């Protein structure tokens, strides 16, 4: 393969996820002219042709040219529309309700946690909970007044082995669970991607058998703010002594999976909890949760906040 062909393919590689269709012969012809005929330095030739593609084919600039995206810490993310890179650990994956979204959840570093969205059109490999990655060329965004990072076509995700710690200082919040959100109780997940099934269907993999899981998505209110929290099987077991096996048995005895949800609501809704965790926007990543016996000062604070 000639040098001109190699350089041409390097440029086409950048466009493999692009909507724009570019003819290889067209690029190659120009590349040969520049490199072989006019002896233009290779880097200049590549830049010249990329500029040509932007002008003639309307390829978005950012698909061809690397973004200036400095490595930042999560606490430094305060403005939307900034191109950045960050090293972070995936701390929680949520269910994505939109076919446009591949994955959504929380990532964290030692300075904080933040919501992330990987768009389906980005064509990325999926990230895993507990693993750390370099998220390159991601863009900050503000959604409903909270910062998040969007991962799109021009971003890159590279798994890294370095250990990333979460913020050392966790806060304790005392509040009441004021509501349960969808997909709480005894749920079914896809065997392949772990997404929550909706009417037996996975968003990505269609009809699958699925496996059972127990969790609660809820809103915790401390009188000043409300936080979205997720309680996993372990949290639920510690709080109410119900394991996944118990939940399955309850569902079987009542011939109704919703009976698990009713039972959990009865025991958790409206009750006070002390939650230790890390806050990111309106989300609270639960590390530890226990029942809290409210004192009269809690009610006073709640009342004060309401007035």
Classify each residue of 5-34 as buried b or exposed e, where b means 16 or more C-beta atoms within 10 Å of its C-beta.
eebbeebeebbeebeeeeeeeebbebbbeb
Indicate the residue among 192 and 224 with the shorter CB distance to Zn ion.
192
Q: What is the DSSP string of 160-177?
A: E-S--PPPS--EEEEEEE
* CA distance linking residue 250 with residue 263, whole number of Å: 9
CA max distance for the chain: 85
Closest separation in Å from C-beta 153 to Zn ion: 23
Residue pointed to by tokens 């269910």 = 95
Task: Specify the residue, 117 or 190, whose C-beta has the smaller distance to Zn ion.
Answer: 190
CA distance 81 to 139: 6
Cα distance between residue 24 and residue 14, in whole Å: 13
Comparing CB distances to Zn ion, the nearer of 149 and 196 is 196
Closer CB to Zn ion, residue 38 or residue 211? 211
Which residue is it, tokens 């025991």?
A: 267
Q: Which residues pair with 291 in a beta bridge?
A: 273
Residues 6+ apart with CB under 8 A from 244: 212, 213, 214, 233
Q: How far apart are CA 216 and CA 218, in angstroms?
A: 6
- Interacting span for Zn ion (CB under 5 A) from 78-86, 160-168, 202-210, 214-222: 202-210
Nearer to Zn ion, 63 or 212 (CB): 212
The size of the interface with Zn ion (CB under 5 A), counted in residues, is 7
Nearest to 257 by CA among 183, 198, 185, 199: 185
For the bound state, the minimum distance from the C-beta of residue 90 to Zn ion, rounded and expressed in Å, comes to: 17
Per-residue string for binding with Zn ion, 59-98, x by CB under 5 A? ----------------------------------------
- Using CB under 5 A as the binding rule, whether residue 205 contacts Zn ion is answered as yes
Binding track over 161-200 against Zn ion, x by CB under 5 A: -----------------------------x-xx-x-----
CB of 209 to Zn ion, least distance (A): 11
Residue with smallest beta-carbon separation from Zn ion: 190
Q: Could you say whether residue 213 binds Zn ion (CB under 5 A)?
A: no
Exactly one of 118, 127, 151, 202 binds Zn ion (CB under 5 A); which one?
202
101 lines the binding site for Zn ion (CB under 5 A)? no
Give the total residue count for the chain: 307
Q: How far is the CB of 99 from Zn ion (least distance, A)?
A: 13
Taking the complex as a whole, the smallest distance from the CB of residue 202 to Zn ion amounts, in Å, to 3
Q: How far is the CB of 47 from Zn ion (least distance, A)?
A: 42
Among positions 42, 63, 204, 213, the unique one binding Zn ion when judged by CB under 5 A: 204
- Beta strand extents in 39-170 (DSSP E only): 83-94, 101-109, 112-119, 132-143, 146-151, 156-160
Q: Which lies closer to Zn ion via its Cβ, residue 34 or residue 202?
A: 202
Return the number of the residue (60 or 200) whose C-beta is nearest Zn ion: 200
Compare residues 126 and 159 and give the one whose CB is closer to Zn ion.
Answer: 126
- Residues of the shown chain interacting with Zn ion in the complex, contacts defined by CB under 5 A: 190, 192-193, 195, 202, 204-205
């Amino acid at each position: 393969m000639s040098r001109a062909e190699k350089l041409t393919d390097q440029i086409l590689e950048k466009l493999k996820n692009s909507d724009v269709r570019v003819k290889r012969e067209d690029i190659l012809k120009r590349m040969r002219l520049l490199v072989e005929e006019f002896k233009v330095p290779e880097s200049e030739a590549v830049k010249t042709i990329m500029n040509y593609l932007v002008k003639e084919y309307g390829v978005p600039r950012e698909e061809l040219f690397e973004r200036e995206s400095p490595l930042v810490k999560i606490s430094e993310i305060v403005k939307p529309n900034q191109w950045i890179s960050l090293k972070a650990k995936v701390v929680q994956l949520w269910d994505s309700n939109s076919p446009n979204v591949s994955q959504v959840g929380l990532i964290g570093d030692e300075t904080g946690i933040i919501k992330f969205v990987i768009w389906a059109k980005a064509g990325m490999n999926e990230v895993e909970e507990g693993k750390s990655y370099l998220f390159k060329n991601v863009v900050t965004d503000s959604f409903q007044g909270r910062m998040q990072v969007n991962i799109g076509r021009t971003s890159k995700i590279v798994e890294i082995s370095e250990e990333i710690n979460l913020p050392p200082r966790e806060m304790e919040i005392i509040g009441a669970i004021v509501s349960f959100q969808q997909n709480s109780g005894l749920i079914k997940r896809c065997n392949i991607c772990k997404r929550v099934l909706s009417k037996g269907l996975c968003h990505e993999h269609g009809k699958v058998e699925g496996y059972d899981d127990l969790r609660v998505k809820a809103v915790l209110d401390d009188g000043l703010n409300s936080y979205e929290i997720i309680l996993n099987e372990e949290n639920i077991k510690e709080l109410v002594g119900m394991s996944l096996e118990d939940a399955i048995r309850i569902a079987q005895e009542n011939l109704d999976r919703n009976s698990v949800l009713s039972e959990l609501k009865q025991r958790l809704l409206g009750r006070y909890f002390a939650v230790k965790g890390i806050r990111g926007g309106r989300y609270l990543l639960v590390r530890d949760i226990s029942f809290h016996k409210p004192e009269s000062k809690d009610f006073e604070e709640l009342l004060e906040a309401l007035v």
